[in-house]
A and B are shown apart, each in its own frame.
Chain A
Amino acid sequence: MTSARRYFTDYLGMMLSLALLILIFSLGNKRFFSINTLLAISNQVPVLAVMVVGMTFVLVIGGIDLSVGSVMALCGSVLGTALTGWHWPLAPALVLALVSGLAFGAINGALAVFARVPSFIVTLGTMEIARGFAYLVTDSRTKYIGNAIEALGPALSMGISLGGVSTVVSVVLGQIGLSRTVFGRYAVGIGTSEETMRISGIDTRSTKIAVFAISGFLAAWASILYCARLEAADPNAGAGLELQVIAAAVIGGASPLGGHGSVVKSFLGVLILAVLNYGLAQIGASEPTKRIIIGAAIIASVALDLYRNRPAGHPRIDF
């Protein structure tokens, strides 16, 4: 199979799974196929979609970022405290939140590169550290932001929301960055064989740090979407969110062993998870049932992916 064709079947396969899920839920509950469902799902997708872009890059270089949920909570806490506690105007508060995320991500990358601690361990540590800082910044209290963040409110105009724009921009830029730039090629190269890259005289360190920094930055971006939607900052936000983000990327075919992944397919993974989540709730599945089904779906989709790609192919990036 040529890679172009394989790309096409992969992509089509995911679209079909998504369509099939929608069909099943629509048959299961008359109310599912409606504008309300679309609204409810589109309300929850942006936070995950923005974060999955960063996670795809991290997985492509063969790393993992467990800190994104906590970093999101920290950046939201910084934003909320800057707005309500220190009475900063919106713009500098947003910048501070984004810089915090970028810095945290860069620290993750630097520790993984210079201290040579595996990113799994580094981000396991920073997951706790970021959460701790989030509690410190907010004094463990939920901050109600209200009007100070209304400018970023639910709909900018003509039904175009900040969340929707962020989703499209991050997915498109992310995919172009991964498949059409030198940076993306380096990222894939690192995930495939870092040694080869080094022997070829390429400094892989800066690319790796940049990838983690991007992941942190996007977690901060997601925190802005979260705070704008809820008009509040919660230091407990995003607990366990990293696992949902990783699950979405993995459903989208990103390999935890590095070397391949596609931003667009990770985004489809987010959609599949969101539809599953909402659809199961609507047909009356209980919380335990939902968890069991979603867990099985994650494993099944990866098993299927591995099965279809049996002949050891070359590393690839799909679009």
Chain B
Amino acid sequence: MALGKFLRSLLLVAVLLAPVSRLSALPERRRPVIALIMKSLANEFFLTMEEGAKEHQARNAARYELITRGIKDEGDVEQQIRIVEQMIAIRVDAIVLAPADSEALVPICRAAAGAHILVVNIDNRLDASALAEKGLRVPYSGPNNVEGAREVGDYLAARLEPGDKVAIVEGVPTAQNSKDRTRGFSEAMETAGMRIVDVVSGYWEMESANAAAITIMSEFPDIKAILCGNDNMALGVVAAINAAGRSGRILVTGFDDISAATKLLKQDKLLVTADQHGDRIAVAGIETALAILGGSPPADRETSIDLVTK
């Protein structure tokens, strides 16, 4: 009985360690190992990111080895910290991280740096003051969300008259990329002389955004456009506009260019969205890591955001 239990736990340990031993059993590890740690792989954006990274690795198999990991849902900060810990434990050469939280991941990045593992920040920028407090300097590769959102706003403004009422449905209010996009949208709208009558949170979700749009339309019947922080929320807003029978009379903009948005663009239900190229963000992070491992000084890289229309 006790022996059975012992054997079972031995088996468990063996199973758990199998991937690790496979790594360490490589004949003289010449190629650096890079771990790409993302947010939820149930989110299309990170799926694209993972695919982009894997493609890049396949083309550059001689240069590095890739491990990709994602967490269960966007908010699971603790799980992401555990994954970073695992990567430190198996001694990868570099960690390319899309942090689920801009501050909570800083201490574990410090631990990685302490273990002489290079950390490159992608997608969602780590908080500058938290990094400064820990005396860390982490290179960042990713898009400029303020700039991207401003472009979306400018594109919309060209189709409106100054003084028109617009509303913004933003993502989780505490997330840096959500704040950046709202800032970009607002700046573009104000510059063009539009009136922003409401900024509400749709928490990145379709259903919350749908409810928010219904409220906005009832409170401001003469609303001319709704700017959304991501495409998922734009889907919910478009459905609300359809249900109210006001399709075509209220313009909607999105962000991210998910596959569902393509159809909406074709049907003129969505005016414009922005592609941040998740695949390029991951590749930029990996290239940054490889360059630094190869001896280059650390530097930030800005990746492009392109407007997508019909």
Interface residues of A (CB under 8 A from B): 31, 34, 36, 39-40, 43-44, 135, 139-144, 146, 153-154, 226, 229-232, 234-237, 239, 281, 287
Contact = CB atoms under 8 A, between A and B. Distances in A.
Interface in B225-284: 231-232, 235-236, 238-239, 242-243, 258-261, 263-264, 267
Nearest to A287: B201
Contacts of A281: 215
A232 B242 contact: no
Nearest to A235: B42
State the majority secondary structure of interface residues on B: helix
Contacts of B261: 144
Given A40-B211, A230-B236, A234-B206, 5 more contacts: A141-B47, A142-B235, A146-B267, A230-B210, A232-B206
* Ranked 9 nearest A-B pairs via Cβ: A36-B218, A144-B260, A154-B243, A230-B239, A142-B260, A231-B239, A141-B44, A232-B235, A144-B263
A288 B73 CA distance: 20
A31 B219 contact: yes
Interface in B183-205: 201, 205
Interface of B: 41-44, 47, 73, 201, 205-207, 210-211, 214-215, 218-219, 231-232, 235-236, 238-239, 242-243, 258-261, 263-264, 267
B258 A141 contact: yes
B218 A39 contact: yes
A235 B43 CA distance: 9
Contacts of B235: 142, 144, 230-232
Q: Which of B219, B232, B263 has the most CB of A within 10 A?
A: B263
A233 to B, nearest CB: 9
B138 to A, nearest CB: 28
Contacts of A236: 42-43, 205
B260 A43 contact: no
A36 B219 CA distance: 8
B28 to A, nearest CB: 38
